[in-house]
Amino acid sequence: MDFEYQSMRTFADSWGLLYMFIVFVAVVMWTLRPGARRNSEDAARIPFKED
């Protein structure tokens, strides 16, 4: 049990951190892409749309 925990902890500390950083950068780039402005403006207007 201790060996499994230690090996998973080592993996998470090294590759898990890299994976989370790559996901973070991908989400930021997806949000700031040139075509996102129209979608963001549409989503921001949803509460103000009338039925």
pLDDT (tens digit per residue) in 1-45: 688 889 888 888 889 889 999 999 999 998 888 888 888 889 889
40 CB-contact burial (10 Å; exposed 0-12 / middle 13-18 / buried 19+) = exposed
Residue 21 pLDDT: 94
pLDDT of residue 40: 85
* pTM of the predicted structure, to 2 decimals: 0.61
Q: Per-residue DSSP letters for 1-51?
A: -HHHHHHHHHHIIIIIHHHHHHHHHHHHHHHTSTTHHHHHHHHHTGGG---
Specify the pLDDT at position 51. 61
| Per-residue DSSP letter, 47 | G
Say what the pLDDT of residue 23 is.
Answer: 97
| The pLDDT of residue 13 | 85
- Is the CB of residue 30 less than 8 Å from the CB of residue 36? yes
